[in-house]
Structure 1
Amino acid sequence: MKIPSFFAKILLFGEYGIIENAKGLTIPFDFYKGSLKFDEANFQSKSHKDIVKYAEYLEQNMPEEFDFLSLWGDLKKGMYFDSDIPQGYGVGSSGALVAAVYDRYAVHRIDKNQLNKESISKLKEKFGHMESYFHGRSSGIDPLICYLNIPLLINSKEDIDTISIPKGNGKGAVFLINSGAPGETGPMVQIFFEKLKQEGFRKTLHKEFNKYNNACIDAFVKGKKEPLFQNLKNLSTWALVNLKPMIPAKIISAWENGIKTNDYYLKLCGSGGGGYVLGFTKDFEKAQEMLSDFELETVYRF
């Protein structure tokens, strides 16, 4: 039997905002992937032990949802998650594992080939419950995109739809910058929720972030570069002012320089604090020169 692989993901727009019902746009990232495998020599591996603990959590919290007889039987065979998705980098390492476990052991699995808004919403809710083990609280979006492996437009918490995005191979690019160290989602999310207690922050999030974020999504899916980059500058500037604790310290100077020169704009990839930062540029070769001190990975060309 062919063992399915589950790819990484990139949340292009909507980081943190989707918690407060902002729009989001997420795409698969097939540069990294993971799959459940078996090897009796893996009983002492970290991955195997992690899945054992995860299985205990699922059995306690979602006892009717999974075939635990098969799950525990496979764990006795040395099951582990063979993944090259970097952990703590904002590209869906836990989401891919959640998707893999759901795909193999869910009792009433929702068929990914017969999707509608209702079934996508149910999947998201279920995945949010499953992934909360890793982050304390989860929107369910990461496992959803890892499971479905298609671009998703998040209109609201209850309204998610599949979408096609323009294809291109021009000078422009979306890219990743490696900050050099992983981040921890839990503490970053906690900082965000503390900020939400401040009326001023909530106001600017709902009025300014949502405006720039939604305009970026609209321009991106329509292939309109000028409004995309106008709003990316606003979005990058907003994040620098309001989400600075989430920006990896060694990236701050490069972040500011992008806004100053207009050669590229940076934004958070995932929860921040470390891992990857997401970049957008009209001229990738120029951005590479400007960011020569960093390791860049291309996500999308246009």
Structure 2
Amino acid sequence: MTEVYRTFHGKILLFGEYTIITGSKALVIPLKQFSGRLAYPVSEINNPDIMTSRRSLNAFFEYLSNMQESSRTDLEKVTRGDEDRGLIDLERLGEELERGLFFRSSIPQEYGAGSSAALVAAIYDAFASNKINYNSERTEDMLMLRQIFSKMESHFHGTSSGIDPVCCYTGKTIFQDGVTLYTTEIQHLPESCKFFLADSGEKGETEPHVEGFNKRLSTDLAFTHVIEDEMTDMVNHCIHLLITGSMSYFAEALLKLSRLQLEHFDPMIPDPIRQFWIEGLQKEIFTLKLCGSGGGGFFLGYTDDPEATSMTFKQAGKKISMLDL
């Protein structure tokens, strides 16, 4: 009998891109428009998407094998007591890969929507030797999940905070404060207030942008000051206002963050999005910000006039997707 695996949604990093590296808070929500799950091909074995997924899974398998080969891996170093909470049953995973296992996903890749995070969550859920329950909200379990997932997802991005796979694995909104993760809920927004996704029309690679950001932090003192002393405070303030439902102040705080990102994250904003970004700041109908590492993929927007915002993008031949938080 073929095993049926759990489905995992994508994710959206509402706040914390880049500043999470320098210690800001972060807020990640499930993106329920997209999902993926492990599966086996039936008649479409030569489907190009399936073949691409299988190649990716095999490369991930090799990565996990190498990790667990070196002194029982970095994953074992974050386990509790004698419980190998982070170790993957590689023998069983290898057997299932031989049977044609792949990741059937609607999550767009290199879009900041959690394609790798959902895959990490799926592999851990299906093949971890002694997995942490996805419904657990214990502080120590959340911390361990983040540490485990950080090691696993680093295969795809070079480095990973681990917070995105935690969101995908639990299916809950995740709030990071310091080293601690909490599940949380966003207060009900007024009917007219909406977050939305704007599609840049091109993919964005995470690793080179993160490397560029880190290099600039180490060489540009003025930039470091902006990130650590200004942008980090703005991000934390936006998260606080959103979680507490203080929406009358939230729009103004987000506007300030948007202006600062436009000024200092220019390489992460592609031309098709930049023109909308500037128009939003000028007309104050909507506000755009980064959604993940930028460079392409989705960008996050916020508006208190969804109809006018949709029309603005539609007239330019672009479509946006409203989010239900």
Partner of 1:199: 221
Provide the residue aligned with 2:139 in structure 1.
117
Match of 1:261 in 2: 283
Q: Which range moved further: 42-51 or 278-287?
A: 42-51
- 1:200 deviates by 1.1
Give the drift of 1:233: 0.7
After superposing the two structures, state which structure 1 stretch, 286-295 or 213-222, moved more: 286-295
How high is the TM-score relative to the length of structure 1? 0.96
Over residues 98-130 of structure 1, what are the superposed CA-to-partner deviations in whole Å (9 max), with x where a residue is unaligned?
000010111121112232111111110110100
Structure 2 residue aligned with 1:300: 324
What residue number does 1:23 align with? 25
Which residue is equivalent to 1:285? 307
Does structure 2 conserve the Cα–Cα contact (< 8 Å) formed by 1:42 and 1:48?
A: no
In the other structure, the counterpart of 2:63 is 57
Give the AA of the match of 1:297. Answer: S
Q: Tell me which of 6, 9, 13 is aligned to 1:7.
A: 9
1:42 corresponds to 2:45: yes
* Contact 1:42–1:80 (Cα < 8 Å) also in 2: no
Say which of 197, 217, 220 aligns to 2:239.
Answer: 217
The aligned counterpart of 2:84 is: none
The alpha carbon displacement at 1:142 in A equals: 1.3
Map 1:104-253 onto structure 2 (within 5 A).
Answer: 104-156=126-178, 158-168=179-189, 170-197=191-218, 198-253=220-275
Deviation per residue, 1:58-114 (Å, 9 max, x gap):
011134511111101100110000001000110100000000001011112111223
* CA RMSD between the two structures: 1.4
SS in 2 for 1:274: coil
User: 1 CA distance for matches of 2:45 and 2:63?
Assistant: 21
Residue-by-residue CA offset, 1:244-269 (whole Å, 9 max, x unaligned): 10012211111011111111110011
Distance in 2 between residues matched to 1:48 and 1:226, nearest whole Å: 48
User: Is contact 1:11-1:270 (8 Å) kept?
Assistant: yes
TM-score between both structures, scaled by the size of structure 2: 0.89
Letter of the 1:246 partner, please give it.
M
Aligned length: 300
Shift of 1:169: 6.1
Contact kept in structure 2, 1:117 and 1:161, CA below 8 Å: yes
1:31 aligned counterpart, secondary structure = strand
Identity of aligned residues (%): 36
Number of the residue aligned with 1:97: 119
The Cα of 1:290 is off from its aligned counterpart by: 2.1
Tell me how far 1:23 sits from its aligned partner: 0.6
Farther off after superposition, 36-45 or 186-195: 36-45
Rounded to whole Å, the distance in 2 between the matches of 1:146 and 1:164 is: 15
**Match for residue 105 of structure 2?**
83
SS at match of 1:45: helix
* Deviation per residue, 1:166-189 (Å, 9 max, x gap): 234611100000000111111111
Q: What is the alpha-carbon distance in structure 2 between the residues aligned to residue 182 and residue 82 of structure 1?
A: 19
**CA distance, structure 1, for counterparts of residue 23 and residue 319 of structure 2:** 33
Contact 2:137/2:182, CA 8 A, preserved across alignment: no
Aligned amino acid, residue 212 of structure 1: M
The 2-side partners of 1:126 and 1:204 are apart by: 31
- Is the partner of 1:161 in helix, strand or coil? strand
Q: Partner letter of residue 211 of structure 1?
A: D
- Alpha carbons 2:4, 2:39 under 8 Å: kept: no
Kept after mapping to 2: 8 A contact 1:176/1:278: yes
**Equivalent-residue separation in structure 1 for 2:68 and 2:248 (angstroms):** 47
Other structure's SS at 1:153 match: strand
